[in-house]
Structure 1
Amino acid sequence: MTKTNPAPAPAAPVFRTVTLDTPIVRPTGDVATIQLRKPRSGELRSLSLVDLGQLKVDALIKLIPRISVPTLSEPEVANMETADLLACGAEIGGFLLQKSQRTDALDR
């Protein structure tokens, strides 16, 4: 009888919190803080990793609605203050690095 190893459990999602300088106004209540979940490969479909790494606005506008809690719409992301979009982009950029690269970047 051959024993097989069970499939590894999926890793728990990784979240980063971004406090917005300018809250997103909604009829149900303003959104002042969002959480961004580390994207999985499927959520990067039709996006260029190079564009995300360069924090290109169009790529961020497409990705943030896929990974934000609460879920933001593309028009909401497109209307964010520039500094808030950049803060989200910085967190997303960190998600794209391997653990060893994140450590190297922090050591510099």
Structure 2
Amino acid sequence: MSTAEQPTSAPTNPVAKARKSVTITLLEPLQRQGQTITTVQLLKPRVGELRGIALNELLTSKPEALVNLLPRITQPMITEKEIWAMDGDGLVQMAVEVVSFLSGTDSTLQE
């Protein structure tokens, strides 16, 4: 396996460390420019990152709302195009954590 093909994990980001987050191991890894992304760190959204998104749509896991939010809170940043191309189980994994963040039931969070 060459260096470019090795699995990529969520990076340790100093900004991310200051916020609550959860690391998700994707059931179906993402492919990006010769790299495989196997884990994604979701940061607990701040109010500014929720701008323009109806909270009720996030709480009901509406895909369009999640596609708007996830690029703002993922490390590495997952693009809207990548999210739309994901398998449904990957989106559901992230949706469960987003709802957990917003509802205050974030028992799996890392500080």
TM-score (norm 1): 0.79
What letter matches 1:45 in structure 2?
Answer: R
Name the SS of the counterpart of 1:39 in structure 2.
coil
Q: 1:89 aligns with which of 71, 92, 95?
A: 95
- Structure 1 runs (4+) deviating above 6 angstroms are none
For residues 20-66 of structure 1, the C-alpha deviation after alignment (integer angstroms, 9 at most, x for no partner) is: 11111011411111000000001001100000000000001110000
Partner of 1:7: none
Partner of 2:19: 13
Name the SS of the counterpart of 2:58 in structure 1.
helix
C-alpha root-mean-square deviation of aligned residues, in Å? 1.6
Name the SS of the counterpart of 2:32 in structure 1.
coil
Which is strand-richer, 1 or 2? 2
What letter matches 1:69 in structure 2?
Answer: Q
Q: Distance in 1 between matches of 2:84 and 2:71?
A: 10
Q: 1:47 aligns with which of 42, 53, 56?
A: 53
Q: Distance in 2 between matches of 1:42 and 1:26?
A: 28
TM-score (norm 2): 0.77
What percent of counterpart residues are identical? 37
Partner of 1:62: 68
**Larger RCO: 1 or 2 (CA < 8 Å, sep 6+):** 2
Q: How many residues align?
A: 90
Q: 1:26 aligns with which of 22, 27, 32?
A: 32
Name stretches of at least 5 consecutive residues in structure 2 with no aligned partner: 1-17, 107-111
